[in-house]
Structure 1
Amino acid sequence: MEQFLYYLLRATITTALFYGFYKLLFSKTTFYAANRVALSVILVAIVAVPLFHYNLLPEKQPEATPIMEMPIAIGMTDFVIQEEPQPTPIEIPWQEILTAIYIGGVAFFLLRYIIGLTQLVQIIHTSHNRHTLSDGSILCITNKKMNPCSWFNYIILSAEDHSAENRAMIGHEQAHVHLRHSADRLLFDLMVCLFWFNPFAWLLRRELQSVHEFQADEGVLTKGIDAKTYQLLLIRKSVGDIKFAMANDFLQRDLQKRITMMMKNKTSTAKKWGYALSLPLLVLIMVVLSVPKLNATIVEQQEENEIENTINSQDGEEVIVSGSVRGDEGMLPGVSIIIKGSSTGTMTNPEGNFTIKAQKGDILSFSYVGYGTYEYKVTEAHDNLTVVLEQEAIIHSDVEVVVDSEDGKIIAAKIADEEVTISGRVKDEEGFMPGVTVLIKGSSKGTVTDMNGRFTIKVNKGDVLVFSYVGYASTEQAVEKTKSGVIIDLEEEEKMMDEIVVVGYEGDEGEQKRTDRLQLKGNIESIQLRRLPKGDSPLYVVDGVVQTKGFDASSINPEDIDNISVLKNESAIELYGEEGKNGVIHIETKENKSTAYNNKTTTLSDQFNISENEKVNALIDYDKIAFVIGDKLAAKEEVEALKPEQMKGVNIYSKGDKLKELQKKFNTDKESFMVIELK
């Protein structure tokens, strides 16, 4: 599409030059027929001339690449340099945007033209009186109040104008029909649809309309109509009535200019030599279109081919380049020098010197941490090349340098891992999921999603995040750059919770015998546990103290948690009897803070901390949530009064078809529903 946009630019320049030429020399002449032909030729030139590329300007010779002096690494082995990935700049897709705007404009003007043409055809077909005139044109009389106009072989006249004075108006439109002006109008109308953004295209179309009117007026006057009477008729009919832009209207614009041209003496035929100036103008346009910036893509391709040919012509001859590399404060050891496009290279020694074998035409790239990269093209052997690197404004401070302890040579340099931030939300089929564990793979660092399934975590580039939740398959996400709005989908595992093998205990002193273990450690931001896929709620044990039924683990400050582990099946029943049949969740806190959580939850109000927990209240807008107990809407106070033992299950719907179904069922626009199922 880039080539087409350049074509439109070149066509705009061509239109501007041709319009200026015509306006300056011929717009006020009485060469009506010649001017009509000239405008038609200009239309063809505007479309055709920009299609071709012209090389009429002297080519600028490329400047020789400046030679820079570079460093030597004596006695050091070749190596492969892995460049640090640079952040991708934000690029605005201007080509796509401009293309979309252009296509939208073309569609708009074409649609407008088609609508107007349809209305004109409809008026012709619905006219109540049609008859053929002596010249073969068809006169259509309509009851619609409109100005006289013509379209190809049809002349449209309002019933009000069908009187004795209509002889001049009909004669005017017959001239349009006889000279086939509608064909010109059609071509110029299509041109302005395609070049709608170009003001000079619209001005050329207006010039053509003026020429058509001049010719029609001239045809009326040659039939013996009095000029003064005809001019008064034009003035009287210039107010009101419907006009059609695509038809040859009796009262097109420039009425004053039309009257002036009727009274004007014929232009001297000697001025027709001015049309010959169109040839120098065409050459000028071709020169202007030879400007490289109007042929950017082609010029770049030619330059690339020339450079490639130059390099290929010099390949094959091996030479030795040696010298030194220095910075602002002296010689630079450890500067990397690689042959561009290959893995061959060397480094400067502790004195900043280097020696490297290369072929003529190769480009040596010199780079050093904190300094700008410099490139040097090899054209011949060099034994005293000096390269000066300039220090960059931003210098990496986290650089690990490995130096040989015996000779002091730099072995390797590495920039420390770059820390990035990634944030997003975790969801399943029913909506966003709170309490999902987000861990950096291979470490204990991580976080947990909040009430709305959101998470934010800082990691190093290349880290892998592991998203896991009880009863769901874990998902991994590699991190390459800072990113927000990430959506992670978790899928339920085919096996339910009853099939998970966890920790078993045996022995009088509670000594652990490990079979398998589900355990969370580290800095946990929050905990939200959903009802287990099978059975009732598990038993919670905080720092060895068994909690009452309905205990809410999220009431514990995540910063106080040191360790979470899960017991299932026989191991849980053996230690805790019947109370452990649905599993046991052990929570160990830091610094003996368990007393703050023991036996806390006694009612559903306490469980959700609707009145007291500031963190929950900050996350939930109760004006936007509807409570449903059983199959009826309930007030917040009814929910607070429920006991946990009365509750069979709690589901929260904040999106999807289920939310829409509940909104319709209870005739409310609440954004979320908490549906409490009773036993």
Structure 2
Amino acid sequence: MKPAIIYMLEVLVCSGVLLAAYAILLERRVKFRWCRLYLLLTTFTAALIPLLRIPVWPGRVVAAAPAIPPDLPVWTGEVLPDEGGSFAVTPEIFCLGLYLLGAVLIAGVMAWQVFRIHRLRRGAEISRTGDYTLVRTRQEIASFSFLRTIYVWDKTPAGELAAILAHESSHIAHRHSIERILMELMKALLWWNPFAWIAARRLTEAEEFEADNDVLSSGYDRAEYMQTIFRQLFGYSPEIANGLRNSLTKKRFKMMTKQTKSRHGLLRLAGTLPAVIGLLCAFGFTSRAAVIVAPATAPATGTTEEPADIRTAADAMQKQDKTCTATLSVVDKKDKRPIEGALVQAAGTPKGTVTSKDGRAVITVPEGSELKISHIGYEPRTIGVKDENPVVVSLIRNPKAGFTPTDDLPDAPQKQQQEQVTVSVATYKDNAPLAGALVKVSGSQIGAVTNDEGLAALQVPANSALEISHIGCKPHIAQVGDKARQMFMFDMQAETAGKSETEGTTVTTTVTDKPLYIVNGIETKEIGKLDPDRIESMSVLKNKAATALYGEKARNGVIVITLKGADMGPATSESNGKRDDAEQTAANAIAIKNGTPEKEEAFLVTETMPLFPTEDPAAPYGDLGNFRAWVQKNVKYPAEAFEKGIGGRVVLSFVVEKDGSVSDIEKLQAPDASLWEEARRVIASSPKWKPGEQRGQIVRVKYTLPVDFRLTKASDTPAPESGK
């Protein structure tokens, strides 16, 4: 797992450096064919350099010390039968599956584009020449070429067709389609690398610039050719093909009007070599194999003394590998009574243990380690481990702890101790889950340690006391009630007393007011009845991070909880799932006020976004881009604004309801009332969408859309357009 992450980081560095060298030295400064070749080669080279292991640097010279066989006991082994355990999904397997999924998905998109291009031939007029095949399709498309075929709309004006054919013929002559296919394949393999996507974009720019330059060099009028490009901005044009329709229009117009002189092209190419050599030195060159030199043989009658450096290294390795088993007896310094449940932890590691009823603990640690001993109600101590002799550790009571050590607590009634309840504990520190906290039942050996998510669950006697401690943090104590399931949350940096989140229990926390609870994205009043087994993850937000997202109501902090499964609200421990009026908050998704149901909160992003209906039977639904094209087709420039020369951008928001209709159209920005009314009219007349889904449930989704109203200078015709 770690080598893969290191490789990905090295590929990102190589890609970024090589792409920066292209932008500084080559882009539109050398011939376009050199730009194309550089982008293809460097995208591949960036992935290859970290894999190279070229032995260049000199290796170490190691003097071999005579091997001394260790005095180890003889162990016997037993081969156990295979119990046929289930297959476990490791992080490595998960990451490999995620990578393959992304690669297959991008390759599938490319294959789908090739399939759609092939379908354009159905019912089309096909003519062949010596250089290319011309397909005049009945489907309204933006002209493009793929391999040796040019695709145009059969209603393309004859005056524009000559420039289009000249442009696409240039693509075919330079074999741009093959370059695009190779780059798409590298994108599929390196889909996690953003620089690969940027390089693909730069390759498209270089190809389009080259084709435009060829057309203008053949004698076409620049102004007419630019008008032809502008009229080709709408229509189907696959990413894998070369075409006139592209969001590069502004850059292409700039290239046509302001030619950049290509001077010192070879010198600029040579300027990229230091970047490649530097990356090879950083990631591709390694040291040669170490040279092992045998020590000189001493006479049989004499004595041999090892070199000082070898002896020091051997002693250090032996000391590092040597461990010892420490035996501790933890007692109260005042009355010498054994302390049960004291936490004994190796400093700087998660390794630790808990003292037994007689105050003893045994732990194996590297020789020379430090052990930290702590217990609620006592001041912590740190001791060094030098040998395996038993050590007695006396803890001093801390009068500032605010409560009595566990052995001084009154025993709970026997009847209550026999009733077992399920307790879930969550610990956090500095806005993050805290692992390794000890959760222990007072006066017993029942306990658990919180996991990496700061969670621990255990069965404890009803009405017992819980002790929560962690090295370097102030300890906590809580009283368990008699409910079947209970949940506690602790801030391990607590300074003041407060209330727990479970009704009828008392804990120590840092805040005197309750924080804001967000369960599955919905605000919830309390989480006392959450089923701990349903919690998938939990995070804590404080200070500016909380108020920036949730406003002033989050001034006491925010606890964000995600539940397992598709339930949109928090689950309770009751089997019938019913809640009283005071508990009905996030689980209902519709708040009831004065007997009138309110609308649910609209999502901004969902697992399945709404789809806009299209007129294509093969693809009946499209994305937001299809909706923008529909708005562009139906919006009309208001006569009042046109006469006054008013233009600008209208920004509005709307909601796609559960039934697919459009509602809640709101004005966010508008330069003129007439422009806003026209944009609102078009959005309101939208056909019904296919609604969005979140965790298998149909939900409301909110969109924000800009609509531009522009008066073109080339003519008096107004040009409204939806924002991109």
TM-score (ref. length: structure 2): 0.39
Larger Cα-atom Rg:
1
